[in-house]
Amino acid sequence: MADPRRDTRGIVRAADFLARVDFRRPDPAEPLRRHVEHYWLIDWDLTEPYVSHVVPHPAVHIVFQRFEGQEAFVEVAGVQQGLFTQKLEGRGRVCGIKFRPGAFRPFAPERAVSEWTGRRIRSPEAFPTADPAAVLAPDDEAARIAALDTFLLALDPRPDPQAELAMTLADRIRTDRTIRRVADFARSEGMSVRLLQRLFAGYVGVGPKWVILRHRIHEALERAESEQEVDWAALAADLGYADQAHLVRDFTATVGVPPTAYAAQGVG
């Protein structure tokens, strides 16, 4: 299993985001690392509202949240297929759990992960034993991390070979940039396309084609964030697109603006 991401891939205007909030990604306890990529902690104290945007990964999150003037709550966020937008204002705190793609279902085995896709479901419908105060109240960060560990370990997920397979295949798509076509990938794994799609629906929440395309957009977004000049035609070819127009179409549909316009707004 590849190491957790430590880049800002997926965060739109990452430098602006990091200048406005205190964002950290601590590791979970050792027994949880097979299933959890990392925790993510955000604290903010803003003098004016700020709207954050993220191009989501193919991951399910459990998120403990406290916004100024609201009661603290917990929600499960299934894989979000569009741009994720969150308005932040005043003071607040979020403590999130990011599951590895394919790794969430052992913690909620009663339903396919695709049933969570595109949804944000608050406790008590999801994980009624979750206690937001136990996670959000401590000012000590180590105590918050320990509370997240305690919450997850108490769920006592059972071994699931299908989850292990889904995690392995999703991770392979993430790390192997030569994987571009679902049919070729399925064949290389000794599976039919239909079987691969069913596995991803049940355990990842989205199809393998969506995962491949999303990693392409993350790569394009990262390049637009970090480079002064991007050769979009060359990047489209590197990412396996038939031409630059297909990259522009997917980027615009996901991020909301064409890649050249995004890059023109300034690196970072």
Domains of the chain, earliest start first:
14-155 (2.60.40), 161-264 (1.10.10.60)
pLDDT beyond 50 at 238: yes
Gyration radius of the chain's alpha carbons: 19
- Do 60 and 204 meet the contact criterion of CB atoms below 8 Å apart? no
Output the pLDDT for position 33. Answer: 96
How confident is the model over 80-109, as pLDDT tens digits? 998 999 999 999 999 999 999 999 999 999
pLDDT beyond 50 at 199: yes
pLDDT beyond 50 at 61: yes
Three-state SS at 43: strand
pLDDT beyond 70 at 159: yes
Q: Work out the average pLDDT over 202-227.
A: 92
Whole-angstrom CA distances from 172 to 46, 113, 179 are 39, 19, 8
Short-list 28, 178, 165, 30, CA closest to 99? 28
Q: Work out the average pLDDT over 145-167.
A: 96
- Largest separation between any pair of C-alpha atoms in the chain: 56
Q: For the chain, how far is it from start to end, CA to CA, in angstroms?
A: 29
Output the pLDDT for position 203. Answer: 98
pLDDT band at 229 (very low <50, low <70, confident <90, very high): confident
pTM above 0.85, yes or no: yes
Phi-psi region of 239 (alpha: psi -120 to 50; beta: other; left: phi over 0): alpha
| Alpha-carbon gap, residue 246 to 255, rounded angstroms | 14
